[in-house]
């Protein structure tokens, strides 16, 4: 009879893998605002997100924001509450949210601004280097959403 409690067929998590919460939403920029406002949002994100352990990407094109935020659940939910009340955009729609143990999809991006033209290429690049099933599925979901919006 085997008594070993080690299960070799289970994925061995690296230190970077922990329960990650992610949210994807889209919204409309408030009329009258412009690229200076987007730059200010990105500057704030670069200042705050590393402190919160949040990474992700922000796409802006045709007055529409599309943002993927990943990090610890409480921090992501607190940030989403702030973003929801930000009057620089409106008609915010949460497209999906999920919590799972996996690597970060964008580990080095405090909040990268990606142009709408480049978003598919960025997601496909990430898909090519993603190792884990959860990340691959999340990226495929994002690509499908980008194609629909």
CA dist., res. 68 & res. 25, Å (int): 7
Interface of this chain with ligand FMN, residues 118 to 147, rule: CB under 6 A? none
* Consecutive H or E run containing 27: strand 18-29
- Please pick, from the candidates 16, 86, 99, 121, the single residue that binds ligand FMN as defined by CB under 6 A: 86
Mark the segment that binds ligand FMN (CB under 6 A) among 44-52, 96-104, 112-120, 132-140.
44-52
Smallest separation (angstroms) from ligand FMN to the CB of 83? 4
Q: Does 26 bind ligand FMN (CB under 6 A)?
A: no
CA dist., res. 72 & res. 148, Å (int): 28
Q: Does 41 bind ligand FMN (CB under 6 A)?
A: yes
In 3D, which of 22, 27, 149 has the Cα closest to residue 96? 22
Q: Does 21 bind ligand FMN (CB under 6 A)?
A: no
DSSP string, 94-133: EEEEEEEEE--SSTT-SSEEEETTTHHHHHHHHHHH--SH
Mark the segment that binds ligand FMN (CB under 6 A) among 41-49, 97-105, 117-125, 136-144.
41-49
Q: Does 30 bind ligand FMN (CB under 6 A)?
A: no
Paired sense of beta strands 55-61 and 18-29, if any: unpaired
Whichever of 30 and 136 has its CB closer to ligand FMN, that residue is: 30
- Please pick, from the candidates 74, 82, 93, 101, the single residue that binds ligand FMN as defined by CB under 6 A: 82
């Amino acid at each position: 009879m085997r008594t070993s409690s080690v299960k070799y067929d289970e994925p061995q998590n690296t230190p970077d893998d922990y329960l990650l919460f992610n949210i994807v939403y889209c919204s409309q920029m408030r009329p009258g605002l412009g690229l200076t406002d987007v730059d200010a949002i990105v500057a704030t994100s670069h200042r705050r997100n590393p402190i919160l352990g949040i990474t992700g990407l922000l796409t802006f094109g045709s007055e529409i924001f599309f943002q993927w935020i990943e990090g610890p659940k409480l921090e992501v939910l607190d940030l989403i509450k702030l973003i929801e009340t930000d009057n620089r955009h409106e008609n915010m729609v949460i497209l999906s949210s999920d919590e799972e143990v996996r690597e970060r999809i964008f580990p080095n991006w405090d909040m990268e601004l990606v142009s709408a033209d480049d978003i598919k290429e960025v997601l496909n690049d990430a898909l090519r280097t993603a190792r884990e099933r959860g990340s691959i599925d999340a990226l495929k979901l994002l690509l499908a959403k980008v194609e629909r919006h």
